[in-house]
Amino acid sequence: DTGVSQDPRHKITKRGQNVTFRCDPISEHNRLYWYRQTLGQGPEFLTYFQNEAQLEKSRLLSDRFSAERPKGSFSTLEIQRTEQGDSAMYLCASSRGTSGGVGYEQYFGPGTRLTVT
Amino acid sequence: GQQLNQSPQSMFIQEGEDVSMNCTSSSIFNTWLWYKQDPGEGPVLLIALYKAGELTSNGRLTAQFGITRKDSFLNISASIPSDVGIYFCAGYFAGGTSYGKLTFGQGTILTVHP
């Protein structure tokens, strides 16, 4: 399978704990995105990497959220001191670089479902 | 900020019927994408549109990029039970600090009765 993979698929944690999620993009894609999706809503953009550079992080929900892509391949999303409101599906997507107006097609992974108790 | 209004919110149809849904925006987009999401899974890309007025098909699915660049439409012909799911439109604006951000609609929940 050469699609986007995410690990774990499900995470249950107690309020106040830290959690980290991993995303492995499609191998030839240099762009990686994180989204959050709550029940009944469409995905909400969080942050974006081109190779290892994080070009947009202002939409991360608070300073408790951070993301890395140290070698321009896989990425991690960490949430510190989790709160019940952090319960959601966290989605990762990847895409090629753009060329001639195309390349904005983002391919999503299966997501990580976080439940904070 | 940019917002997408997707309608209808839900549809209940009989197998074999055609389906239409649409998405409108308060501002223009350069790219429109349509996704389908099954419960507990990530969205799956169905169709990508890059030019105003463009009409693109993928099997029984046809989507159009509105000429005003503020709307898009998705049609499904001869629906089958496996079409059940949530359909999302998403727009991309290539300017400013958009940095790859897709803006999603709220989704259309499709139920197909055999």
pLDDT tens digit string along B27-77? 899 899 999 999 999 999 999 999 999 999 999 999 999 999 999 999 999
Q: Do A104 and B101 touch (CB under 8 A)?
A: no
Chain B contacts of A40, Cβ < 8 Å? 106-107
Closest-CA residue in chain B for A96? B100
Strand B4-7 relative to strand A112-116: parallel, antiparallel, unpaired? unpaired
CA distance B93 to chain A (A): 10
**Each residue's pLDDT tens digit, A32-82:** 999 999 999 999 999 999 888 888 777 777 899 999 999 889 999 999 999
| CA distances to A67, B69, B112 from A32, in Å | 11, 26, 34
Comparing CB atoms, the residue among A31, A45, A101 nearest residue B50 is A101
| Chain A partners within 8 Å of B48 (Cβ) | 102, 104-105
